[in-house]
Amino acid sequence: MLTIGLLGGMSWQSTVEYYRIANELVAARLGGLHSARLVMSSVDFAEIGQLQRSGQWDVAGQVLAQEARNLQAAGADMVLICTNTMHKVADQVAAAITVPLVHLADTTAAAVRAEGVRKVALLGTAFTMEQDFYRDRLASHGLEVLVPPAEDRELVHRVIFEELCVGVVRDESRQAYREIITRLVEQGAEGVILGCTEIELLISPDDCPVPSFPTTRLHIGAAVDRALELTSV
The active-site residue, picked from 15, 83, 108, 125, is 83
CB count within 10 Å of CB 44 equals 12
Respond yes or no: is residue 165 known to be catalytic: no
CB count within 10 Å of CB 20 equals 12
Respond yes or no: is residue 182 known to be catalytic: no
The active-site residue, picked from 107, 196, 197, 216, is 196
What 8-state DSSP symbol labels residue 17? H
What single string gives the DSSP state of each residue in 43-98? --HHHHHHHHHTT-HHHHHHHHHHHHHHHHHTT-SEEEES-SGGGGGHHHHHHT-S
Please, which residues bridge with residue 224 across strands? none
Q: Is 181:208 a contact under the CB 8 Å cutoff? A: yes
Active site residues: 83, 196
